Chain A
């Protein structure tokens, strides 16, 4: 009888539970709380938390080729990440960026944080150059791009990078306003910007092609990212293939978001996540966010000196980090606190998409030069 019970116990997963697994359950519960109760990035955080819980139950190692194995493998093969960027391209309007080309400068300057973090991670943090690139990309707060680099260059840090990116996105609405209020005066936050011109469809189509060609020529390693982003945007702007567009816009993007969430969650196993490097990645990522925000705000102030007739609200400078659309909303909220009738949302989203492009180019640079 006793032997039968022992055999039964061994056959269950109960014997495989460890303390580190229990710690990861607590983290999955925290992610579920943020996603469901706080309603923050629920579409991503809920599947991610579910995946993390699944990864830390003693039920893995089942037959190869099941759905969970399939999802994890597709993530490793870089299938979801470029496809998610196709969806991002479909959902992104580059019009505000094209209407105010100065925003390109903000997006470029904001990458200072990313590259400074690379240098810090490699010099002080004890990370290898490939790992440092993945850590630096955390600063962009752009999930697909950071994960793309992590999968390609430092898969052992995938869990830490994933956590760093999404923790950063959660903390962004707290950190950036505090920082922006200290970097700008009340008068600067009230600056009203001229309405943006309407950008023609032809310009938007040309932009998608030009950006893709320049991006791939200069950073071939980032071709899957930039190509899919611009393909999505081209589909959006060209106005043909409505059926495909509608499917991509809703079903495909949503399914991919769920699969990506589960796939990333599955990487959050206790042995990969509970490492000394994880808090280091998060801290460096936050430092990079601070540096990017500071650099962007000062770049906006500098741009104002060169063109005082058409001033830039410096709050927009902080939006060069590519966390869309949260960063643009943060700028709008801070602006409205100073002047309730002031609207800078579109201008801010222009800077934000410039930041996204800058981050993708930086990812391409690392993927190209760190074989």
Chain B
């Protein structure tokens, strides 16, 4: 490891020589500021990296062909049958399906909703100590 000066030293933070209140406050205060600064710096760096990744992905998407789902605007009949059977099983006979909508605007939205429900069920089934 190199012998460069850490920022904490540059800031002038030094351990208190005597147990006096002021000295004992300024030293930990420097430490707290350093921790806050470090985490905010990392947070900022990650926001910038995310933006760069997004830009890169958008540029990549524009180079490829556009994908159009085969069943856009119309659900395949087997999917309707599966959903009907599931509703009948859970709610019993007599239920009406008025509409079938995707949970989220995108595939990721639906995925998140299912994950969320799974986590809720999983957590509700356990006693947390």
Contacts and interface: CB of A to CB of B under 8 A. Distances in A.
Given A368-B6, A368-B8, A214 B50 contact: no
A357 B46 CA distance: 15
Task: Classify chain B's interface size.
Answer: 35 or more
A101 interface: yes
A206 interface: yes
B32 interface: yes
B129 interface: yes
B123 A345 contact: yes
A244 B21 CA distance: 50
Interface string A326-367: 000110110010001101011000000010011001100110
A40 B129 CA distance: 8
A123 B34 contact: no
A219 B38 contact: yes
B35 A108 contact: yes
A118 interface: yes
Nearest to A173: B129
Task: Classify chain A's interface size.
Answer: 35 or more
A370 B39 contact: no
Interface in B102-128: 108, 111-113, 115-116, 119-120, 123-124, 128
Contact of A332 (B15, B38, B123): B123
Contact of A369 (B8, B25, B35): B8
Contact of A343 (B19, B31, B40, B120): B120
A365 B8 contact: yes
A108 B7 contact: no
- Name B's interface SS: helix
Interface of A: 38-40, 98, 101, 104-105, 107-109, 111-112, 115-116, 118-119, 122-123, 126, 129-130, 132, 136, 173, 195-198, 200, 202-203, 206-207, 210-211, 214-221, 223, 329-330, 332-333, 336, 340-341, 343, 345-346, 354, 357-358, 361-362, 365-366, 368-370
Interface of B: 1, 4, 6-9, 13-16, 19-21, 24-25, 27-29, 31-32, 34-43, 45-47, 49-50, 53, 108, 111-113, 115-116, 119-120, 123-124, 128-129
18 contacts: A104-B42, A104-B43, A108-B39, A115-B28, A129-B15, A198-B111, A203-B49, A206-B49, A218-B34, A219-B6, A221-B6, A332-B123, A346-B119, A365-B13, A365-B31, A365-B35, A368-B9, A369-B6
Given A118-B28, A123-B21, A173-B128, 15 more contacts: A101-B43, A101-B46, A115-B28, A115-B32, A119-B21, A123-B24, A136-B28, A214-B45, A215-B38, A218-B6, A218-B37, A361-B35, A362-B31, A365-B31, A368-B6
